């Protein structure tokens, strides 16, 4: 196997692979995206096997006093949402992620503008 940096010349083949296998799952990641790194894994004949890229995401972290009514916590969250969206867009991001364990809070956020992620979110400790 060969691991090498992504080249502009790889994009047509990657678009073809994406269209064939992933078009219904996620949009094609444009080169202009803020990748921390982007590599191609190719076989010994030089054919693309995989594209692997890592880009940063924005994670929202909220520490709320659960002894307070959820309605006031939601009101507080909604009051900051527009400013939060503006600031994160200004930084060049188009999404905010939140990882929620509390089902009530999850339901409230989903009534706001949060949506389920496509696929299942997983992580790897480093």
How large is the average pLDDT for residues 88-92?
93
pLDDT of residue 113: 86
Strand arrangement of the beta sheet that strand 48-54 belongs to: 2-5, 37-42, 48-54
Q: Which residue has the tokens 């894994």?
A: 41
Q: Which of 45-49, 56-60, 72-76 has the lowest mean pLDDT?
A: 72-76
How large is the average pLDDT for residues 97-115?
89
pLDDT of residue 21: 97
Going from the C-alpha of 38 to that of each of 44, 60, 75, 116, the distances in angstroms are 19, 25, 40, 26
pLDDT of residue 3: 97
pLDDT of residue 77: 87
Q: Which of 6-15, 50-59, 68-77 has the lowest mean pLDDT?
A: 68-77
pLDDT in tens, 71-84: 898 888 888 988 99
pLDDT in tens, 16-44: 999 999 999 889 988 767 899 999 999 99
Cα separation, 36 vs 55, whole angstroms: 5
């Amino acid at each position: 196997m060969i691991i090498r940096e992504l080249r502009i010349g790889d994009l047509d083949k990657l678009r073809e692979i994406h269209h064939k296998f992933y078009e219904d799952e996620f949009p094609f990641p444009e080169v202009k995206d803020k990748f921390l790194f982007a590599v191609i894994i190719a076989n010994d004949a030089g054919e693309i096997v995989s594209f692997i890229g890592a880009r940063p995401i924005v994670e929202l972290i909220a520490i709320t006093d659960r002894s307070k009514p959820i309605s006031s916590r939601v009101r507080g969250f909604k009051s900051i949402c527009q400013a939060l969206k503006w600031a994160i867009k200004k930084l060049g991001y188009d999404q905010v992620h939140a990882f929620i364990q509390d089902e009530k809070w999850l339901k409230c956020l989903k009534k706001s503008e949060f949506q389920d992620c496509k696929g299942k979110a997983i992580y790897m400790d480093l």
